[in-house]
Amino acid sequence: MDAATRRNAIYTKLKATQCPISATALAAQFQVSRQIIVGDIALLRAGGLEIIATPRGYLLPQSSSALTKTVACVHGAEGMERELELMVENGCHIMDVIVEHPVYGQLTGQLHLMSLHDVQEFVDHVRKHQAQPLSALTGGIHFHTLKCPNLECYHRVLDGLKREGFLFQETDRD
């Protein structure tokens, strides 16, 4: 298979799923190295395709009628798993995590977590690599972009975050 045909096949595979596909899995399927796949993705992006890289692999943005909301949170690394669980348990898709860094400005990490299984995989990956969450750069303060099926789900998330002490409020700055 030539490179252009492989890139077309990669794009077709990404269009056919809503779950992230890792570069390693694509490399195995197309019998090339992971680095070849990373290069293919870069060329597809340079050609104008929007491809999202998440910790679990690549995916295409999904069009949706869901509400897009941003929520401000604050907690230490020990609260990350419970915070993410609250969001997906209440039906919301966690698109990303954002911090406002004093030197670099806004830093965004793509998450695309839709289920408890996704959350567990992400948390396991963080632990395996002994990684610090982005919020460690900002004293625990961070934002999440959520896609929620309706306003009721979003309010359940806010209520849960407030109950657990994760919802950032103006008094947290004092």
Query: What per-residue string of b and e applies to 48-58 under the rule 16 or more CB within 10 Å gives b?
Result: eeebbebbbbb
**pLDDT tens column, 91-124:** 999 999 999 999 999 999 999 998 999 999 999 9
- Point out the residues of the chain with pLDDT beneath 70: 63-64, 170-174
Indicate the pTM of the whole model: 0.73
Looking at residue 173, its pLDDT comes to: 46
Side-chain half-sphere CA neighbours of 118 within 13 A: 24
Residue-level pLDDT at 127: 94
Q: What per-residue confidence (pLDDT) applies to 64? A: 66
Of 51, 56, 62, which Cα lies nearest the Cα of 93?
62
Domains of the chain by start residue, with CATH: 3-59 (1.10.10.10), 67-173 (3.30.1340.20)
Residue 115: phi, psi to the nearest 5? -145, 170
End-to-end CA distance of the chain: 61
